[in-house]
């Protein structure tokens, strides 16, 4: 004998698992769009960063730390640590990157620092044109031969680099291996 059902399960009870999935999807989309994009990144970078004399930390020849913000100098390329050996005026060999970092440290020592932020890079660092006591840092490093102008850098940096190369200053001095430059 066949059992007859008087009541059929309603359509909503048959679709309940799909409804839970749809509700979870809507909730997930709502959370993703409601949360700020830089929730786990660094703090928003103001247009101008300042540091009092002695408060800036030199990370490498192109990177400074000003308080909570890491700042990369605009248009500047520097040798990588351990990849190039330079000779000083006395003919002694030194690491080009260490010498370039030391040159930047001398430029910022005991000077107030101001950086005009123009962008952030893919690592979240502020990219800025920085000056210490009125001395533009990137231009000074390139002119001294401790850095080079990156592709797309201001034309002034390229001409300063050409002059430093011609006069064999900094990394361009003496017969040295210039790997990474």
Residues 113-127 pLDDT 10s: 999 998 888 888 889
Residue 34 belongs to some domain of the structure: no
Residue 32 belongs to some domain of the structure: no
pTM tops 0.75: no
pLDDT cut 90: percent of the chain above it: 29
How far apart CA 158 and CA 163 sit, in angstroms, is 9
Residue 6 belongs to some domain of the structure: no
What is the CATH number for 54? 2.40.50.90
Residue 41 belongs to some domain of the structure: no
- For residue 138, give Cα distances in angstroms to 144, 146, 175: 10, 10, 25
> Where does the pLDDT of residue 178 fall: very low under 50, low under 70, confident under 90, or very high at 90 and above?
very low
Which pLDDT score is estimated for 137?
94
Residue 128 belongs to some domain of the structure: yes
pLDDT tens per residue across span 9-44: 665 565 566 666 667 776 667 666 665 555 555 556
With a CB cutoff of 8 Å and minimum separation 6, the contacts of 77 are 62, 147, 148, 149, 150, 181
> Where does the pLDDT of residue 176 fall: very low under 50, low under 70, confident under 90, or very high at 90 and above?
very low
How many domains are contained in the chain? 1
Residue 7 belongs to some domain of the structure: no
98, exposed or middle or buried, with CB in 10 Å at 0-12, 13-18, 19+? Answer: middle
- Range list of H helices, 52-122: 96-108
> Would the pLDDT of 138 be above 90?
yes
How far apart CA 76 and CA 138 sit, in angstroms, is 6
Which pLDDT score is estimated for 160?
93
Across the range 51-60, mean pLDDT stands at 89
Residue 178 belongs to some domain of the structure: no
Adjacent-strand bridge partners of 115:
49, 130
- Residue 82: domain span: 48-172
> Would the pLDDT of 174 be above 90?
no
Residue 43 belongs to some domain of the structure: no
CB burial of 134-143 (b: ≥16 within 10 Å; e: otherwise) equals: eebbbbbbbb
* Cα Rg, the chain, nearest whole Å: 28
pLDDT tens per residue across span 146-166: 998 888 787 888 999 999 999
The first and second tokens of residue 130, run together, are: 């920085």
CB 170 within 8 A of CB 97: no
Mean pLDDT of all residues belonging to the chain: 79
> Would the pLDDT of 177 be above 50?
no
Number of other residues whose CB lies within 10 A of the CB of residue 113: 22
């Amino acid at each position: 004998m066949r059992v007859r059902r008087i009541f059929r399960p309603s359509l909503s009870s048959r679709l309940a698992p799909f409804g839970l999935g749809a509700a979870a999807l809507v909730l997930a989309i709502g959370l993703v769009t409601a949360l700020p994009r830089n929730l786990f990144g660094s703090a928003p970078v103001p247009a101008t960063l300042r540091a009092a004399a002695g408060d800036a930390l030199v990370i490498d020849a192109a990177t400074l730390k000003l308080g909570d913000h890491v700042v990369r100098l605009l248009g500047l390329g520097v040798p990588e640590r351990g990849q190039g050996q330079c000779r000083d005026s006395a003919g002694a060999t030194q690491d080009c990157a260490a010498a370039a970092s030391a040159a930047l440290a001398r430029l910022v020592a005991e000077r107030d620092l101001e950086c005009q932020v123009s962008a952030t890079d893919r690592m979240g660092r502020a990219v800025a044109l920085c000056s210490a006591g009125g001395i533009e840092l990137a231009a000074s490093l390139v002119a001294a031969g401790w850095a080079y102008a990156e592709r797309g850098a201001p034309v002034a940096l390229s001409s300063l680099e050409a002059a430093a190369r011609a006069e064999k200053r900094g990394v361009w001095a003496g017969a040295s291996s210039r790997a990474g430059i």
